[in-house]
C-alpha cells in the first residue's frame, strides 16, 4: 500500500539555522499538508498546498516558514531561522482530492526536529 514518506526521521540543528524537511506524498494525491506536534501536545495544522500554491495557512505559519514542491514528487517545508520553540514532530500528509467528497489525509511517519 502506498505511503507518505518523510526524511530525515530526526534533525538536530542550532538555533538560527535553516532547516528543510522533506516529504514524498502518495503519487496520485493532489493536496498536501504540514502539521506539527510539540511533544505531548496535539497535532496542529500549519499549511495546505494545492496546484503549486498555498491554499490555507495557520497563524503558526509565519514568514519564517515556506513550502515548495520543487519537482514532481517532493514537498518541502523550510524553516528559515529556527527557534527553540520550533522543536516538534513535523508531519506531512496528502489526500487524493476527489470531487464531491472528503478525502482521507494520509500521514507520513514524521520528522523530529530538535533545535538547540
Partner 1 sequence: GENVEQHPSTLSVQEGDSAVIKCTYSDSASNYFPWYKQELGKRPQLIIDIRSNVGEKKDQRIAVTLNKTAKHFSLHITETQPEDSAVYFCAATPRGTNFGNEKLTFGTGTRLTIIP
Interface residues toward partner 1, by CB under 8 A: 30-31, 33, 35, 41-45, 48, 50, 55-56, 58, 91, 95, 97, 99-105, 107-110
Q: How far is the CB of 99 from partner 1 (least distance, A)?
A: 7
| Minimum CB distance to partner 1 smaller for 14 or for 27 | 27
| Minimum CB distance to partner 1 smaller for 82 or for 110 | 110
Rounded Cα gap, residues 31 and 93, in angstroms: 8
| Minimum CB distance to partner 1 smaller for 10 or for 80 | 10
Q: How far is the CB of 24 from partner 1 (least distance, A)?
A: 14
The position carrying cell 472528503 is 102
Q: Compute φ and ψ for 97, nearest 5 degrees.
A: 80, 40
Beta strands at 10-13 and 111-115: parallel, antiparallel or unpaired:
parallel
Q: How far is the CB of 76 from partner 1 (least distance, A)?
A: 18
| Minimum CB distance to partner 1 smaller for 15 or for 54 | 54
As to burial, measured by CB atoms within 10 angstroms (0-12 exposed, 13-18 middle, 19+ buried), residue 21 is buried
Q: How far is the CB of 67 from partner 1 (least distance, A)?
A: 14
Task: Measure the N-to-C terminal CA separation of the chain; round to a whole number of Å.
Answer: 37
Amino acid at each position: 500500500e502506498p505511503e507518505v514518506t518523510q526524511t530525515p526521521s530526526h534533525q538536530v540543528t542550532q538555533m538560527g539555522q535553516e532547516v528543510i524537511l522533506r516529504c514524498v506524498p502518495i503519487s496520485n494525491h493532489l493536496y498536501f499538508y504540514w502539521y506539527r506536534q510539540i511533544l505531548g501536545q496535539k497535532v496542529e495544522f500549519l499549511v495546505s498546498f494545492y496546484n503549486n500554491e498555498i491554499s490555507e495557512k495557520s497563524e503558526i505559519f509565519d514568514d519564517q516558514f515556506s513550502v515548495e514542491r520543487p519537482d514532481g514528487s517532493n514537498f518541502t517545508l523550510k524553516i528559515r531561522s529556527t527557534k527553540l520553540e520550533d522543536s516538534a514532530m513535523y508531519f506531512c500528509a496528502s489526500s487524493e482530492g476527489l470531487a464531491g467528497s472528503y478525502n482521507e489525509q494520509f500521514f507520513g511517519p514524521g520528522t523530529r526536529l530538535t533545535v538547540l
